[in-house]
Amino acid sequence: MRKRSCADAGSRPAIVLAEPSGPAGDPPVRFEGTPPSQRWAIRLEYDGTLFVGWQRQADGVSVQSVLEEAAARLTGGRPVAVVAAGRTDAGVHAAGQVANLDLPHGVSSHLSPARLRDALNFHLKPNPVVVIRAARVDAAWNARFSAIGRSYRYRILNRLARPALSVNQVWHVKPPLDARAMHAAAQHLVGRHDFTSFRATSCQARSPLRTLDRLDVSRDGEVVTIAAEARSFLHHQVRNMAGTLRLVGEGRWSADAVATALLARDRASAGPTAPPGGLCLVAVTYPEDPFED
């Protein structure tokens, strides 16, 4: 039996679970009608270099679009909406992104979490997106609105030679950086503040107020890492903080200058926006971990 295409779905009521649906040789599982849905949570990682970002757009390939297309292969071409905990920008990576999607109960009843993970990963090839875990969740659970914390990591390769192995994964900065000075300056940003100076001018958040729980800067050999944790972030907030802290690391700004920039509540008062390649969404936390065994 040939696999159903999206074009076939509109004229055929059956839902087909395309391979891999089980052990080698098992036929696709067929269900009639439109059963109610089961919500699934998935944790995934991706290299954002070639994507236009998480969100589906008219031009270019997004992480959301390839995931939704992979999920639609499990429903015989019927659209499946995928909602993420955070909409990463073009070029930004994820090691612990979380999303949710709804699949018909007829399909879900024949899927274990591991089987759903493997089926999605099969259809995601060759895109640099991989589902790490999957779990059944309540219909009211939402990857974005149920989250209580998000952790980002920004990495700077601080050496004269350009990167080869980590290209598009770090920000290459040649001048020596004082990570201790950067860390001290970063503490001025920890807490609840108006982060207007550190959000994109196009940011659509209703309020610039955010509570930054952690902003640490450390060095391991040639790599300087900025770790940021908060319930939520403004558009470009982490990258704007990283660009500002670089000025401190190079000795061009003092720690007090960072505090002054914060109080100015003016984007032009802070440092430049760091490039996207160094940024990675590391983890999303919830009141109860949906992926716990």
3-state secondary structure (DSSP) of residue 290: coil
Which one is catalytic: 26, 59, 89, 194?
89
3-state secondary structure (DSSP) of residue 6: helix
Residues forming beta bridges with residue 230, ordered by sequence position: 150, 212
Tokens of 129: 């997106």
Distance in angstroms (rounded) separating the CA atoms of residues 147 and 204: 19
Distances (CA, A) of 283 to 55, 63, 150, 190, 286: 18, 17, 6, 19, 10
Q: How many CB atoms lie within 10 A of CB 100?
A: 22
Cα angle value 128/214/198 (rounded, 5°): 75
Quick check: is 216 catalytic?
no
For residue 277, which amino acid is it? G
Burial of 83 (0-12, 13-18, 19+ CB in 10 A): middle
Distance in angstroms (rounded) separating the CA atoms of residues 291 and 221: 34
Report the catalytic residues: 89
